[in-house]
Amino acid sequence: MGAGTGAGHGTIWYVYVPENTVDPRVAAAARSVVIRAAADLGLGQIYVRWFCPADALDRALDRLARMAGAERRCFAYGAGLVGVTTPLEPDTIALSAALTARDVGRVVRHEARHLWQFRQHIPPADEEGDAEQYALLGLRRL
Protein backbone atom coordinates (compact mmCIF):
# COMPACT_ATOMS: atom_id res chain seq x y z
CA MET A 1 0.00 0.00 0.00
CA GLY A 2 1.12 3.52 -0.60
CA ALA A 3 0.04 6.60 1.27
CA GLY A 4 -2.19 6.07 4.27
CA THR A 5 -4.03 8.29 6.71
CA GLY A 6 -4.23 7.17 10.30
CA ALA A 7 -2.65 7.16 13.69
CA GLY A 8 -1.13 4.54 15.91
CA HIS A 9 1.67 2.02 15.74
CA GLY A 10 1.99 -1.62 14.84
CA THR A 11 0.69 -3.48 11.85
CA ILE A 12 -2.76 -4.99 11.74
CA TRP A 13 -4.80 -6.67 9.01
CA TYR A 14 -7.77 -5.10 7.28
CA VAL A 15 -10.43 -6.67 5.06
CA TYR A 16 -12.38 -5.04 2.23
CA VAL A 17 -16.12 -4.88 2.89
CA PRO A 18 -19.09 -3.96 0.68
CA GLU A 19 -20.43 -0.41 0.77
CA ASN A 20 -23.76 -1.61 2.17
CA THR A 21 -21.97 -2.31 5.48
CA VAL A 22 -21.12 1.40 5.83
CA ASP A 23 -23.41 4.02 7.41
CA PRO A 24 -25.45 5.28 4.40
CA ARG A 25 -24.83 8.93 5.39
CA VAL A 26 -21.07 8.33 5.41
CA ALA A 27 -21.14 6.52 2.06
CA ALA A 28 -23.23 9.30 0.49
CA ALA A 29 -20.92 11.97 1.87
CA ALA A 30 -17.88 10.09 0.54
CA ARG A 31 -19.43 9.83 -2.95
CA SER A 32 -20.22 13.55 -2.96
CA VAL A 33 -16.73 14.62 -1.86
CA VAL A 34 -15.08 12.17 -4.28
CA ILE A 35 -16.92 13.77 -7.20
CA ARG A 36 -15.91 17.30 -6.14
CA ALA A 37 -12.28 16.38 -5.35
CA ALA A 38 -11.90 14.51 -8.66
CA ALA A 39 -13.16 17.54 -10.57
CA ASP A 40 -11.01 19.95 -8.55
CA LEU A 41 -7.85 17.87 -9.10
CA GLY A 42 -8.59 16.87 -12.70
CA LEU A 43 -8.54 13.15 -11.84
CA GLY A 44 -11.55 11.78 -13.67
CA GLN A 45 -13.36 8.82 -12.10
CA ILE A 46 -12.30 7.86 -8.55
CA TYR A 47 -13.48 4.56 -7.11
CA VAL A 48 -14.05 3.97 -3.40
CA ARG A 49 -13.41 0.76 -1.51
CA TRP A 50 -14.24 0.27 2.17
CA PHE A 51 -12.33 -1.71 4.79
CA CYS A 52 -12.47 -2.72 8.45
CA PRO A 53 -10.16 -4.66 10.78
CA ALA A 54 -9.88 -8.32 9.73
CA ASP A 55 -10.43 -11.28 12.01
CA ALA A 56 -8.91 -14.77 11.80
CA LEU A 57 -11.62 -16.01 9.42
CA ASP A 58 -11.02 -13.08 7.06
CA ARG A 59 -7.29 -13.86 7.04
CA ALA A 60 -7.93 -17.55 6.33
CA LEU A 61 -10.29 -16.72 3.47
CA ASP A 62 -7.71 -14.30 2.10
CA ARG A 63 -5.05 -17.03 2.08
CA LEU A 64 -7.43 -19.35 0.21
CA ALA A 65 -8.27 -16.62 -2.30
CA ARG A 66 -4.58 -15.96 -2.97
CA MET A 67 -3.90 -19.70 -3.41
CA ALA A 68 -6.72 -19.79 -5.97
CA GLY A 69 -5.32 -16.76 -7.78
CA ALA A 70 -8.27 -14.55 -6.79
CA GLU A 71 -8.12 -10.91 -5.74
CA ARG A 72 -6.84 -10.27 -2.24
CA ARG A 73 -9.45 -9.55 0.39
CA CYS A 74 -7.05 -8.37 3.13
CA PHE A 75 -4.08 -6.09 3.49
CA ALA A 76 -1.70 -5.14 6.31
CA TYR A 77 -1.10 -1.59 7.45
CA GLY A 78 -0.57 0.44 10.61
CA ALA A 79 -3.15 0.53 13.36
CA GLY A 80 -5.66 3.36 13.23
CA LEU A 81 -5.80 3.53 9.42
CA VAL A 82 -8.72 5.63 8.12
CA GLY A 83 -7.80 5.93 4.43
CA VAL A 84 -5.23 4.64 1.97
CA THR A 85 -4.19 4.84 -1.68
CA THR A 86 -1.61 2.97 -3.69
CA PRO A 87 0.05 3.61 -7.07
CA LEU A 88 -1.03 0.06 -7.96
CA GLU A 89 -4.65 1.34 -8.01
CA PRO A 90 -4.18 4.95 -9.16
CA ASP A 91 -7.92 5.62 -9.41
CA THR A 92 -9.05 4.09 -6.09
CA ILE A 93 -9.36 5.32 -2.53
CA ALA A 94 -9.87 2.84 0.30
CA LEU A 95 -11.71 4.19 3.34
CA SER A 96 -12.41 2.86 6.81
CA ALA A 97 -15.98 1.66 7.22
CA ALA A 98 -15.84 3.20 10.71
CA LEU A 99 -15.43 6.77 9.46
CA THR A 100 -17.98 9.30 10.68
CA ALA A 101 -19.88 11.72 8.48
CA ARG A 102 -17.86 14.46 10.19
CA ASP A 103 -14.47 13.00 9.18
CA VAL A 104 -15.12 11.43 5.79
CA GLY A 105 -14.76 14.66 3.79
CA ARG A 106 -11.26 15.41 5.11
CA VAL A 107 -10.09 11.82 4.61
CA VAL A 108 -11.47 11.62 1.06
CA ARG A 109 -9.81 14.91 0.09
CA HIS A 110 -6.52 13.80 1.70
CA GLU A 111 -6.51 10.51 -0.19
CA ALA A 112 -7.66 12.11 -3.47
CA ARG A 113 -4.67 14.41 -3.20
CA HIS A 114 -2.43 11.34 -2.97
CA LEU A 115 -3.93 10.09 -6.26
CA TRP A 116 -3.07 13.46 -7.79
CA GLN A 117 0.46 13.24 -6.32
CA PHE A 118 1.01 9.85 -7.97
CA ARG A 119 0.31 11.45 -11.33
CA GLN A 120 2.49 14.49 -10.59
CA HIS A 121 5.41 12.39 -9.29
CA ILE A 122 5.55 14.32 -6.00
CA PRO A 123 8.52 13.17 -3.86
CA PRO A 124 7.40 10.95 -0.94
CA ALA A 125 8.95 13.31 1.61
CA ASP A 126 6.44 16.01 0.58
CA GLU A 127 3.32 13.84 0.23
CA GLU A 128 1.68 13.89 3.67
CA GLY A 129 1.96 17.61 4.37
CA ASP A 130 0.64 18.48 0.92
CA ALA A 131 -2.27 16.01 1.22
CA GLU A 132 -3.26 17.29 4.65
CA GLN A 133 -3.03 20.92 3.54
CA TYR A 134 -5.31 20.15 0.59
CA ALA A 135 -7.78 18.32 2.87
CA LEU A 136 -7.94 21.22 5.32
CA LEU A 137 -8.23 23.81 2.55
CA GLY A 138 -11.26 21.92 1.26
CA LEU A 139 -12.91 21.99 4.67
CA ARG A 140 -12.52 25.77 4.83
CA ARG A 141 -14.25 26.08 1.44
CA LEU A 142 -17.34 24.16 2.59
Q: What is the pLDDT of residues 79-119, one digit of tens each?
A: 889 999 988 899 999 999 999 999 999 999 999 999 999 99
Name 82's Cβ contacts closer than 8 Å, sequence gap at least 6.
Answer: 5, 6, 95, 96, 98, 99, 103, 107
Percent of the chain with pLDDT over 70: 91
Q: What is the pLDDT, as a whole number, of residue 96?
A: 97
Q: What is the pLDDT, as a whole number, of residue 72?
A: 79
Euclidean distance between CA atoms 107 and 132, whole angstroms: 9
Number of domains in the chain: 1
Q: Is the confidence at residue 25, as pLDDT, over 80?
A: yes
Is residue 35 within 8 A of residue 105, CB to CB? The reply is: no
Q: Which domain holds residue 27?
A: 4-141
Q: At 67, is the secondary structure helix, strand, or coil?
A: helix
pLDDT digits (tens, 9 = 90+) for 66-80: 899 888 788 888 888
Strand partners, 13: 76
Is residue 138 within 8 A of residue 37, CB to CB? The reply is: yes
Q: What is the pLDDT, as a whole number, of residue 141?
A: 57
Euclidean distance between CA atoms 46 and 122, whole angstroms: 19
Euclidean distance between CA atoms 53 and 67, whole angstroms: 22
